[in-house]
Amino acid sequence: MNLNSDKQYPVTITRAKLKTAFKSWANLEEFIDGISQSLYNGAYIDRYNFTKGLVTQAYNSNSAIIDVISSDIDTEAKAKAFVTKARTLFLNMQEPTADYNAWRKVGGYGRDVLTWTDPEDIVFLIRNDLASYIDVNVLASAFNIDKSSLLGRIKYVKDFSVRDKSGNVVLDGSNILGCMGDKKWFRIKNQEITMDEFYNANNRTWQMYLNDVNMFQYSLFCNMVIFGTAEPQVTITGLSVDKDEITVSAGATAKVQVSTTPAQANYPEITVESSAEAVATATIDGREITITGVASGEASDGEATITVTAGNVTKTISVTVPYVAE
């Protein structure tokens, strides 16, 4: 995800407010504090939502490692099992592995990237309703370690949905329970924060503007696992295979690898079908098709077409089973 945020936050100062401000030090402090609160609170809220939205966007686009939890965690036993899983993940992320970054998942040019995270850089974001079932201090005591060593830096989030100013959901994160990963996964850069002002002679007021320009991204090379109650659905818009034509002898098998567009697409299910099962059959496991030669023609090569289908998207493979004269 690459999102540029260019937001402007205005505040109006009238002559009456300005006169009141200089009547006492208390009034002046209240006046300055009011301007700061008005300008910076809006910027803080937007930055918070954009940051939280990185997790939601990565989940919805299936661009992170997703760990599906079978059900909502609503009992102490489930909570403890979840913490044990998170604890294992916390330890595993400290070792070089390609299991927790999304580089290969989104394409990755066929290569794995080994990543690891120092324990002090692991962050754990967790939804508040889930956190209510997890007494971290008690669990940390059970593990005989402090809570930061147990699960990393813990941050609590009301939910992972992003809403507009009217409260309408613009990015649904209702299936997300939390996430654990490297703090460097969050690639946030402040490009500009400036204050501008001008005097409006028509109504004799000063207009002040806080300009806050940021770039929000997440990294495909850093560890990040998102805990969800279901797999996200990303629609397959294209299919490709590494072999359009193959020759396989009767009784032998051949493997064909399937790729999707986008690479992390997972919906609908990919199926395979042979036009002539007396000649060749096909099965699929994940993204690998196994084609088995059954028999050739009585006096010629046998031919079959394997059709790979995902919804309205199809791809074909031509299969030849050679005739062998007795």
Beta-carbon count within 10 A of 82 CB: 19
Which residues in the chain show pLDDT less than 50? 1
Mean pLDDT of all residues in the chain?
A: 85
Place of tokens 């207009």: 207
The pair of structure tokens assigned to 68 is 């599906």
- The pLDDT value recorded for residue 30 is 65
Those residues whose C-beta lies under 8 Å from the C-beta of residue 34, and which sit 6 or more positions away, are none
Prediction pTM value: 0.80
CA angle 94, 100, 91 (to 5 degrees): 30
Strand partners, 291: 254, 282
The pLDDT, as a whole number, for residue 164 is 82
Nearest in space to 105 (alpha carbons), one of 308, 259, 270, 284: 259
What local confidence, expressed as pLDDT, does residue 31 receive? 57
Question: pLDDT tens-digit profile of 37-51?
Answer: 666 677 777 888 889
Q: What are phi and psi of 271, to 5 degrees?
A: -125, 160
At residue 214, the pLDDT reads: 79
State residue 135's pLDDT score.
65
Pick the CATH number of 238-321 from 3.30.420.40, 3.90.1150.10, 2.60.40.1080, 1.20.1740.10: 2.60.40.1080
CA atoms of 147 and 138, how far apart (whole Å): 9
**So what's the pLDDT on residue 242?**
95
At 228-270, the pLDDT tens digits run: 999 999 999 999 999 999 999 999 999 999 999 999 999 999 9
**How much is the pLDDT for 139?**
58
The pLDDT of residue 7 is: 73
Q: How much is the pLDDT for 18?
A: 62
Beta bridge partners of 154: 124
For the chain, give every residue range classified as CATH 2.60.40.1080. Answer: 238-321
